[in-house]
Chain A
Amino acid sequence: MTAAAPEPKANMGQPVPRYDARSKVTGRATYGSDMPLANPAYAFLVTSAIAKGRIDNFDLDDARAVRGVIDIVTHENAPKLKESKLFSNGGYAGTTIQPLKSPDIAHDGQIIAVVIAESYEAAREAANRVKVGYTIATPSATFDSPGTTTAAAKGQNSQFKEDPKVGDFAKAFEGAEIQLTASYDTPTQHHNPMELFSTSCAWIGDDLVIYEPSQYVHGLKNGVAEQLGIDADKVRVVNPYVGGGFGSRGSMTPRTAIIAGIARRLNRPIKLVPTRDQGFTITTHRAETRHEIKLGARRDGKLVALRHEGAEVSSRPDAYCVGGTKTTTRLYACPNVDSLVSIVRADRNTPGFMRSPPEVPYLFALESAMDELAVKLNMDPVELRRINDTTTEPIGGKPYTSRSLMACFDEAGKAFGWAQRSRQPKSMAEGDWLIGYGCAATCYPTQMGPAAARVRLQRDGRTRVEIAGHEIGTGAYTVIAQTAAERLGVPLERVAVFIGDSDLPPAPVAGGSNSTASTCSAVMMVCDQIRQRLFKAVMPSDSLTEKAKETVGISQAPSTQAAKSDRPLDIEKAFDALGVGVVEEYGEWKPEGAPLDSFRAMHSGHVRLVGGHQMKDKIAYAFGAEFVEVRVNRFTHEIRCPRLVGAFAAGRIMNPRTARSQLMGGLIWGMSSALLEATEIDERSARYVNDNLADYLVPVNADVPGVEVILLSEQDDHINPAGAKGLGELANVGTNAAICNALYHATGQRIRKLPVRLENIEV
């Protein structure tokens, strides 16, 4: 065992190497734009240089003169496409702003033309030569810009049904011994996955194949079919590997149907590879948010009142919001809670899911405020969390299925050396550097969605697992292979996994950290169907069949437990008894509490995630605690973060290696979202300014010299058959607050606005 492959504790799988490690490091893994196409034409996008207004005219002469140009598609000659509803509103799309439909411009960098040429270079050169005449209207950029409108999220966003509240907040806050009111801001951010937002479309007769990095192949397939007005069975989306997603590829962007439509008209495959800066405006982003937190507490630290008000920026037509109050109002014991989420409409593209969409901004506010309260109380911030820890959430009084928050604080605190912290701000230093320690809680809802799988077992143990899951770098291939191997009792190397193809049985969007729980639960169920068939063959007597069902049936217990208590199955004997060469099973699994239309929705590319606070008699979250050391240079005010330590508990850990890797990436993301990442907006023009990876800063290796991940053993039998809680979006939550809490400790200065830059430090 190494740091990269931690020793499994109780209720953890083996840290086997990644199923796809070799193909990735040797460059054999094929991503969307790597897929060979027969005689493709190349597309390059032209995007708007204004955020609001209309196109008066195009001058295309110069562009058409470039050798190799085939066509230039604008709103005047674009293929007609049907509209799709917003993803979070029962549709497939990440925005309802449909480009190339009219001369109107609704946001910066909107697609206004597509150049098609014989080569990428010719298409790009011609795109550079397209001249556009605009009538410019004054756009509203963001909060406080003239012309924005604000309204409560409730009533305009179908996913945001209720502002959580309980008790009498106003009275309790009024009478609280200690009161805290503070406001917090988080910036616009962009996902910037390594793989660009490419799309290749090839028609074979009436059938369309799309190669595109997607986090939801069944959603994209159905969405594109809807826009093109064709049967969904005519569309296939293929992406065996996806170069990162982080939410940016969960919903359909307008580009795909546009490229498909042009390819149909041209009767030729088309490959589109947009640039990095175009990726900032042709997909979604994390919207900037504002928060006001009010906390009322007793002198002993017990919370008596909590109010969280959040505001988020969205586009003119779409009421997108993340509404993280659903989590922050339920994290700690508190009898009087109030909340309100508002949406501010501006001339921007519609924001969308970005890694832990609600929790990153909303827990920044709450976990910063908890630290401020601890300071007011002169109390250790860890102890303040312990005092307010709870086994039931305060809004509906439902029990957490499991909650290891304080165990995480204790483990991470020990590894970090929290006890060595001197309480006073500005009391620790080394050379030119002021040192600060800070911590924060993290949590993320445990979510699952309906999923189907097909498993084929051969007499020699070779196994083929098919499920339209997604390998976005998380380790999906690996944990699915491990699940099948364990459940069928075959060697891991005999298992072949096929994912990332909409011709395979549908799985949910790879979002909301549901994938492992959903896909592995489905694969377990189908493997059990195979076991049952084999058992029945070798033990035809009814009583024995019942016994077999007890041990290997559709168990709610984690798979290793079931596997251990099972008697070993003699596959060859069973095949002989059955008299077949191959056993194949297909099955559809849905989580407890899934809606009645779950399977219908699953096949039409609609997501039906359940879990988190939406479960009937319980609430399911994964938890963690993060400790950070920051250093502030007393001369330059540069801020560095030499150590990040996190401890996490997320039910069954399928593979400690891939889990650690995700959590480590999460900690780095979290640090980045506090100190580096922000999309700058030119307020006059409502345009992005730093839309590239030189100016939009992400950490380099030198920024993260010390990252430690501790996996806690946790068993939860109340969530899903796999017993797994999602952890892909767990570690990047709360880190931002931990950093600001540490900065307070280092400097005595409380910073409530992200990202923190050196000019924000006054020492």
Chain B
Amino acid sequence: MRSFLYQRATDPDMAVQALSADAAANNPLTQATAQPLAGGTTLIDLMKLDVMRPAAIVDINPLAGGWSAIEPGGENLRLGALAKMSDVAAHDEIQRNYPVIANSLKLAASAQLRNMATLGGNVMQRTRCSYFRDVSYENCNKRNPGSGCAAMDGVNRMHAVLGVSDQCIATYPGDFAQALIALDATVEITGKSGSRSMPFSELHKAPGNSPDIETTLQPGELISVFVVTGRWPRSVYLKARDRQSYEFALSSAAIALDVRDGTIRDARVALGGVATVPWRAREAEALLKGQKFDDGLAQRAADAAFADARGRRHNSFKIALGKRVMARALQQAVTMEI
């Protein structure tokens, strides 16, 4: 870890100001010299590993008073960006009306991490690609733009098959983001010029030719709230992984359905562990809508979701696995008692 300046922001303006200090430098957010600190469960790790070298840390935990609300009561569900994963996962109404959210959080990380980590930090967590996290590997387009990708022909069992480019195949590692994608959530952002909101699905950027740019957030911008419209009791999160707990997904599926009289009126499908960004399977959704559910339909939807998947030496299995996980999650969502 390198020496850094520690600042504590007591209100959003102060946080935004401190984080925008070097906006003129035109750095992508991941390279910004000032980084926000919430739970610290990713940032501190990456600083110890010398992957991130911020000159300043802006502790935004004092904003928790206004930014950690869990409000499932009204028309919309509002979740503050500084709410702890564990608090949201344990919330009765979340469990009842948004099981995909509760389970995506409960199946992530460990109890200790969930107690520390915030929702905003969770969606911003960076890839677990071993080559990205080890600075002794020179070739990483995410860390050193233009240096190449060591994972492409290296050990890539954990890497992505969807949304990949020739520059990067690093997997987006989180779980909760898939739930937000499936629920078509909106994210509210606080920045220098006030607040803005956008669909959560527009937050993350596929690597393309610039894997170092991971989101559409600018330096000085902070996520303040996630908003979900409506209630989604018929929703599931299914996660396949190497061990029973405390492990990232090899493949996961977040499903939210509106089924009436045996017909799928609305279907939302998001995939995790297999893609470079939280992945929405729109082709699959289109196939499902308006149909009566059967196993054949689930299979066709899964095939559609992975039609463009590209496997490499160690991760090709994720294509077949991802289809089975998605089809099984659809079955579970259709048959669940609500």
Query: With contacts A125-B3, A637-B321, A689-B130 known, is A758 near B242, CB below 8 A?
Result: yes
- Check B240 against A702 for contact (C-beta < 8 Å): no
- Given the interface pairs A676-B243, A703-B245, the reply to whether A124 lies near B325 with Cβ below 8 Å is no
With both chains docked as a complex, state the minimum distance between the C-beta of A48 and any C-beta of chain B, in angstroms: 8
Q: Is B196 among interface residues, defined by CB-CB distance under 8 A?
A: no
Bound form: Cα–Cα A387–B1 in Å: 61
A362 vs B271: C-alpha distance when bound (angstroms)? 41
- Asked if A640 and B244 sit within 8 Å, CB to CB, the answer is yes
Q: Which residues of A contact B265 (CB under 8 A)?
A: none
A118–chain B nearest beta-carbon distance, Å = 13
Given the contacts A124-B1, A635-B325, A636-B324, A759 and B240 also touching, CB distance less than 8 Å: no
Q: Are A128 and B247 in contact (CB under 8 A)?
A: no
- Give 1 or 0 for each of B233-253: 1 = CB within 8 Å of chain A CB: 000001011111111001100
* Closest Cβ–Cβ distance, residue A656 to chain B (whole Å): 29
Chain B residue at minimum C-beta to C-beta distance from A705: B244
Q: Contact partner of B317 among A432, A699, A759, CB < 8 A?
A: A759
Residues of chain A contacted by B3 (CB below 8 angstroms): 121, 125
Interface string of A628-648 (1 = CB under 8 A from B): 000001011110100000000
Q: Which of B226-276 contact A (CB under 8 A)?
A: 238, 240-247, 250-251
Known A-B contacts A635-B328, A700-B246, A702-B245; the reply to A680 vs B155 at CB < 8 A is: yes
> A636-B321, A758-B321, A759-B317 in contact; A684/B153 too (CB < 8 A)?
yes
User: Is A391 interfacial (CB 8 A cutoff)?
Assistant: no
**A757 an interface residue at 8 Å Cβ cutoff?**
yes
Stretch of B58-66, B131-139, B186-194, B212-220 lying at the A interface: B131-139
C-alpha gap A740/B197 in the complex (Å): 52
Using known A-B contacts A49-B137, A128-B2, A689-B131, determine if residue A702 contacts B243 with beta carbons closer than 8 Å.
yes
B interface footprint on A655-694 (CB within 8 Å = 1, 0 otherwise): 0000000000000000000011000111010010111001
Question: What's the dominant secondary structure at chain B's contact region?
Answer: loop
Instruction: Give the residues in chain B near A277, CB-CB below 8 Å.
Output: 134
In whole angstroms, how far apart are the Cα atoms of A123 and B19 in the complex? Answer: 29
By the criterion CB–CB under 8 Å, are A697 and B131 in contact? no
CB-contact partner of B242 in A125, A680, A682, A697, under 8 A: A697
Which residues of the other chain, A, contact B136 by a CB distance below 8 angstroms?
47, 49
Task: Tell me if B146 counts as interface (CB < 8 A to partner A).
Answer: no
A631 to chain B, nearest CB (A): 11
**B325: chain A residues within 8 A (beta carbon):** 635-636
Known: A125-B1, A682-B154, A695-B130. A636 touches B328 (CB 8 A): yes
Q: How far is the CB of B247 from chain A (nearest CB, A)?
A: 7
Whether, in the assembled complex, B283 has its beta carbon less than 8 Å from a beta carbon of chain A, the answer is no
1/0 contact string of A278-296 vs chain B (CB within 8 Å): 0000000000000000000
Q: Is B8 an interface residue (CB 8 A)?
A: no
Query: Which among A125, A633, A682 is the interface contact of B155 at CB below 8 angstroms?
Result: A682
Select from chain B the residue with minimum beta-carbon distance to A127: B50
**Chain B's nearest CB lies how many Å from the CB of A519?**
36
Complex: A758 Cα to B138 Cα, angstroms:
31
What's the nearest-Cβ distance from chain A to residue B322, in Å?
A: 10
Give the nearest-CB partner of B153 in chain A.
A684
Q: What residues of chain A lie closer than 8 Å to B205, measured between beta carbons?
A: none
- Give chain B residues whose Cβ lies under 8 Å from the Cβ of A757: 157, 242
A682 / chain B contacts, CB cutoff of 8 Å: 150, 154-155
Chain A: interface size category? 35 or more
List B contacts of A675 (CB < 8 A): 242
In the complex, per-residue mask of B13-56: 1 if CB is within 8 Å of any chain A CB, else 0: 00000000000000000000000000000000000001000000
Please give the distance in Å from B332's CB to the nearest CB on chain A: 10
Q: Would you call B128 an interface residue if the criterion is a C-beta within 8 Å of the partner chain's C-beta atoms? A: yes
Closest chain B residue, CB of each to CB of A698 = B243
| Chain B residues near A681 (CB-CB < 8 A) | 155
Instruction: Pick from A124, A128, A432, A759: contact of B321, CB below 8 A.
Output: A759
- Residues of chain A within 8 A of B244, CB atoms compared: 640, 700, 702-703
- Contact residue among B128, B137, B245, B251 (Cβ-Cβ distance under 8 Å from A700): B245
Task: Tell me the nearest residue of chain B to A49, going by C-beta.
Answer: B136
Quick one: closest A residue to B331, CB to CB? A635
Which residues on the A side are within 8 Å of B246 (C-beta)?
700, 702
Within 8 A of B (CB), among A688-744: 689-691, 694-695, 697, 699-703
Docked-complex contact A700 and B243, CB < 8 angstroms: yes
* In the complex, per-residue mask of A91-132: 1 if CB is within 8 Å of any chain B CB, else 0: 000000000000000000000000000000100110010000
Given contacts A121-B1, A635-B324, whether A676 and B245 have CB atoms under 8 Å apart is no
A128–B49 Cα gap in the complex (Å)? 9
For A636, give the chain B residue with the smallest CB separation. Answer: B240
A702 contacts across to B, CB distance below 8 A = 243-246
Query: How would residues 305 to 335 of chain B score, 1 for a CB under 8 Å from any chain A CB and 0 otherwise?
Result: 0000000000001000100110110000000
Tell me the smallest distance from the CB of A328 to a CB of chain B, in Å.
29
CA distance A699 to B324 in the complex (A): 25
Q: Which of B2, B134, B247, B250 contacts A125 (CB 8 A)?
A: B2
> Are B243 and A758 in contact, with the CB atoms below 8 A?
no
A758 and B240 contacting across the interface, CB-CB below 8 Å: yes
CB closest residue in chain A, given B135? A128
Complex Cα gap A548–B157 (Å): 69
Chain A residues near B50 (CB-CB < 8 A): 128
B1 near A703 (CB under 8 angstroms)?
Answer: no
Query: A701–B1 Cα gap in the complex (Å)?
Result: 31
Nearest-neighbour CB distance to chain A for B158, whole angstroms, equals 8
Q: Which residues of B contact A759 (CB under 8 A)?
A: 317, 321
Q: How far is the CA of A238 from the CA of B110 in the complex (A)?
A: 36
User: How long is the Cα–Cα vector from A676 to B138 in the complex, in angstroms?
Assistant: 28
Which residues in window 474-492 of A have CB below 8 A to B? none
| B131 to A: closest C-beta gap in Å | 7
Please, how many angstroms separate the alpha-carbon atoms of A291 and B92 in the complex? 54
Residues of A contacting B245 in the complex (Cβ-Cβ under 8 angstroms)? 700-703
What distance in Å separates the Cβ of B191 from its nearest Cβ neighbour in chain A?
32
Q: Known interface pairs A125-B3, A635-B325, A682-B154. Does A695 touch B128 (Cβ–Cβ under 8 Å)? A: yes
Q: List, in ascending order, chain A residues with CB within 8 A of B243's CB.
A: 676, 697, 699-700, 702-703
* Nearest neighbor of B45 in chain A, beta-carbon distance: A694
Q: Which residue of B lies closest to A690 (CB)?
A: B130
A residues in contact with B324, CB < 8 Å: 635-637
Interface pair B321/A697, CB less than 8 Å apart:
no
Q: Given the complex, which residues of B lie within 8 Å of A47, measured CB to CB? A: 136
- Interface mask (B48-89 → A, CB under 8 Å = 1, otherwise 0): 001000000000000000000000000000000000000000
Q: From known contacts A636-B321, A702-B243, infer whether A758 and B2 are also in contact, taking CB-CB under 8 Å.
A: no
Interface string of A558-602 (1 = CB under 8 A from B): 000000000000000000000000000000000000000000000
A481 to B315 CA separation, bound complex (whole angstroms) = 53
| Cα(A674)–Cα(B183), bound, Å | 39
Alpha-carbon gap, A236 to B154, bound state (A): 45
Q: When each residue 98-120 of chain B gets 1 if its CB lies under 8 Å from chain A and 0 otherwise, what string results?
A: 00000000000010000000000
B154–A684 touching, CB < 8 Å = yes
Q: State A635–B3 Cα separation when bound (angstroms).
A: 48
Contact B1 A697 (CB under 8 A): no
- Could you tell me the distance in whole angstroms from the C-beta of B253 to the nearest C-beta in chain A? 10
Q: Mark B143-171, 1 if CB is under 8 A from A, else 0.
A: 00000001001110110000000000000
With A636-B238, A687-B137 given, name 12 new contacts (CB 8 A).
Answer: A277-B134, A432-B328, A636-B328, A638-B242, A680-B130, A689-B154, A694-B128, A695-B158, A697-B243, A701-B245, A757-B242, A758-B321
Instruction: Give B contacts to A, CB under 8 Å.
Output: 1-3, 50, 110, 128, 130-131, 134-138, 150, 153-155, 157-158, 238, 240-247, 250-251, 317, 321, 324-325, 327-328
A-B interface, 10 closest residue pairs, ranked by CB to CB distance from nearest: A759-B317, A636-B240, A702-B244, A49-B136, A702-B245, A635-B328, A689-B155, A128-B50, A680-B155, A689-B130
24 A–B contact pairs at CB < 8 A? A47-B136, A121-B3, A124-B1, A125-B2, A128-B2, A128-B50, A128-B135, A636-B238, A636-B240, A636-B324, A637-B240, A675-B242, A680-B130, A687-B137, A689-B130, A690-B130, A690-B155, A691-B134, A699-B243, A700-B110, A702-B245, A758-B317, A758-B321, A759-B321
